[in-house]
Structure 1
Amino acid sequence: MSSADALLVIFAMALVTYATRAGGIWLVGFMPMSPRLEAFLRYLAGSVLVALVVPATVRGGAAAFVAVGVTLLAMAVVRRGLVAMALGILAAALYRAFIGA
């Protein structure tokens, strides 16, 4: 595969991703905003995050459990998602550096 082909594939994937997201926002504009739909949309991002994190944690071993624990604790204390995730990543890196695994 040439580099031009690779760029074309990346561009096509970006267009499909954008169309999917924009299309979803466009479709929701036609739906009446009920309390149930509002709650669904509010918690959708969190449920997707959990669906990604849980399998990775189970497969990741002790370092992954340390990272998730530190992230949850940091989130409870500082209430800043990016800071909490950064601390979790740092905890996993330090665990692997000093403990191994």
Structure 2
Amino acid sequence: MSEGLFSADSMFVSAVLVMAAATYAMRAGGYWVMGRVPLTPRVRRALESLPGAIIISTILPMALQGGLAMSAGIIVSGAVMALLKKDTLAVAAAVLAVAALRHFGV
């Protein structure tokens, strides 16, 4: 690996380029596929429910494996979001709650 601030080895650059190409292919493919799917009420309901399903599938494993502090952070985040409707504040409150609980050994 060469020295310098902006140096990178060829394997790293190749990996980034392959991931970028795969990301673009998935996005373009999604537009292509959805251009051929009729938007019936059933399909529309399924697409509208996806964001919630993705969030739950991301958060649930963290809550189950992260222990009490992580679960409390998720609850704090949900409460702040429900009360204030500010996602940045909800994330900040969750991070602070988890950090405080872990600092005190929870």
Q: How does the TM-score come out when normalised to structure 1?
A: 0.86
Which residue in the other structure is 2:68 paired with? 62
Q: 1:83 to 1:30 in 2, by over 3 A?
A: farther
Q: Aligned partners of 2:18 and 2:84: how far apart in 1? A: 39
Q: Aligned partners of 1:24 and 1:76: how far apart in 2? A: 32
The alignment-based identity, stated in percent, is 32
**CA offsets, 1:49-90, max 9 Å, x none?**
111110111110011111111011011101233332222122
Q: Which has the larger radius of gyration?
A: 2
Q: Aligned partners of 1:36 and 1:18: how far apart in 2? A: 28
Structure 2 residue 40 is matched with structure 1 residue 37: no
The structure that is helix-richer by fraction is 1
Q: Aligned partners of 2:27 and 2:96: how far apart in 1? A: 31
Name the Cα RMSD after superposition. Answer: 1.8
Instruction: List structure 1 segments (4+ residues) > 6 angstroms apart after TM superposition.
Output: none
Q: Aligned partners of 2:35 and 2:88: how far apart in 1? A: 29
Query: Which structure is richer in relative contact order (CA contacts within 8 A, separation 6 or more)?
Result: 1
* Structure 1: tracts of 5 or more residues without a match: none
For this pair of structures, how many residues does the alignment match?
100
